[in-house]
Every structure is written in C-alpha cells, then in structure tokens.
Amino acid sequence: MPAKAKHSPKYERLDAEVRREKLILATIEAVGEVGYSATTVREICRRAEVSPGLLRFHFSGKAELIFHAYERLLNDFIASLLDAVREGDKEPRERLAAFVEACFSADGSSEHRLAMMLAFWSELRHTPEIRAPATKMFAAYRKELIEVIEQVAQVEGNADEVDAGLVAISLTSLVDGLWLERSVNPQGFSLEDAKLACYGLLDGFLFCGTNEQWLQERAAGRNIVYHD
C-alpha cells in the first residue's frame, strides 16, 4: 500500500518571539506599501505567513500591533540619531547639527517611519489604552535631545534663558510636521530646505541670530522656494 504523501503545514510553527517579529515586520511592510486602510489583519497575516488566530494570541488586535510596529521604527530611528550625535568627539553644537542631519537622511527609512507615524496617530486618537505607553516612548525620544540642548546653552552662556524642553518639543514637532508636509507634496521642498528650517528654529531659540556657525548653516547661500 503506497505511503501517504506528506503535506507541509500551511503555517510554520515558529518560536513565539519569531512569530511576533514576523508580525511586526509584516505590519511595517504593509503600511509602507499599501497604506493604513488596506493594512488589514488578513493582509498582515498573509505577509507574515501566520494564521489570524496567532495574531490574536500575540496582540489584542490591529491597534496594539500598529503601536509595536511604530515603536520598533521609532526605536531604530532613535538609535540612528544617538549614533550620529555621539559619533566622534563633537562639540555640543556639532552634536545638535548631527541630530538635524540624521532626521532628514535620504536612506528611505524616514518614508517608512512617516507612513507608520500617520497610522499610529490614527489609532492613538481612538485607542486610549496605548496613550500611556506612547507618552512614555515620546519622553524617551526627547530625553537625550534635551540634554544636548542644555549643553549648547551652557556653552553659549545663556542656560538661564533657554527652556531646553520647549526647544526640544518645538524641534521634534517641526521635524514631524515637515515630513508630514512632504507626504502631501514630496516636491514642495528638499530635505536640505527642511534642515535649514530646523537650523533657523534653533538659531532663534539658542542664539537669537548672533551665532555665525548657525547663520551659515541656515542661509547656505540660498532661498527656500515652495513648489506647488
């Protein structure tokens, strides 16, 4: 009697952490490629090659998975920023400039982060249970930036006049806003223009237009022209 043919299981039996990782990466990929509305539980599971039941075993639903996917991208982004800021023996102003440069790198990762950011904000508005961990995550994002700003203010001798927390939230909000604007009109302004906008903000907060290094960075011999 012929032996029965062996059939491979439809879904791989993987270690729990490996399955979680596959689901997170599949979510990032799906949101980046097809957008938030088309990133359904079924689409995520198809890309991760797991069953919907396994997704529900590891996550409460799409909202929690979106949060963890965004957390992954943000943590990777923060790590790249810290690497840029800490690399070499930089002065505080150079470290702050490295932060701005890293925020607008042209490696493509920022586009994925933007797609996830928009999806995450959509969920955050309607999912109170992820607001607390999100607040904690954003606080960690700004912590090192605040420290660098405080060091710059000390060097400039105006530490008593600079609210480092306000400068940090203004800068990070500007960065997010510029990326959001580019999502609407990618040809509207260049990444170099975006950097100059950040240098202008920092110059106003920290130097009041008196620091030559930042004036040169900000001006760079060009005018920003918005293209429709």
Average pLDDT over residues 200-218: 70
pLDDT band at 13 (very low <50, low <70, confident <90, very high): low
- The reply to whether 175 and 80 lie within a common domain is yes
- pLDDT tens digit string along 18-29? 888 999 999 988
Average pLDDT over residues 25-38: 86
- pLDDT tens digit string along 82-132? 788 788 788 888 888 888 988 887 665 566 677 777 777 777 777 777 777
- The reply to whether 51 and 34 lie within a common domain is yes
Length of the chain as a residue count: 228
Rounded CA-CA distance 67/65 in Å is 5
Candidates 55, 73, 36; CA nearest to 183 is: 36
Residue 44 domain flag: yes
- The reply to whether 24 and 119 lie within a common domain is no
For the chain, how many structural domains are there in total? Answer: 2
53: how many CB neighbours lie within 10 A of its CB?
Answer: 9
- The reply to whether 88 and 189 lie within a common domain is yes
Cβ atoms of residues 209 and 197 within 8 Å: no
Residue 163 domain flag: yes
pLDDT at 69: 86
- The reply to whether 16 and 120 lie within a common domain is no
Residue 5 domain flag: no
pLDDT at 82: 79
Residue 166 domain flag: yes
Last residue of a domain, one of 59, 76, 98: 59
pLDDT at 25: 92
Angle at 169 between CA 139 and CA 173, to 5 degrees: 110
Residue-number span of the structural domain to which 130 is assigned: 63-219
Cβ atoms of residues 151 and 92 within 8 Å: yes
- pLDDT tens digit string along 125-177? 777 777 777 788 778 778 888 999 999 999 888 888 899 999 999 999 999 89
Angle at 135 between CA 129 and CA 139, to 5 degrees: 160
Residue 227 domain flag: no
Query: Is residue 210 pLDDT above 80, yes or no?
Result: no
Q: Is 131 helix (H, G, I), strand (E, B) or coil?
A: helix
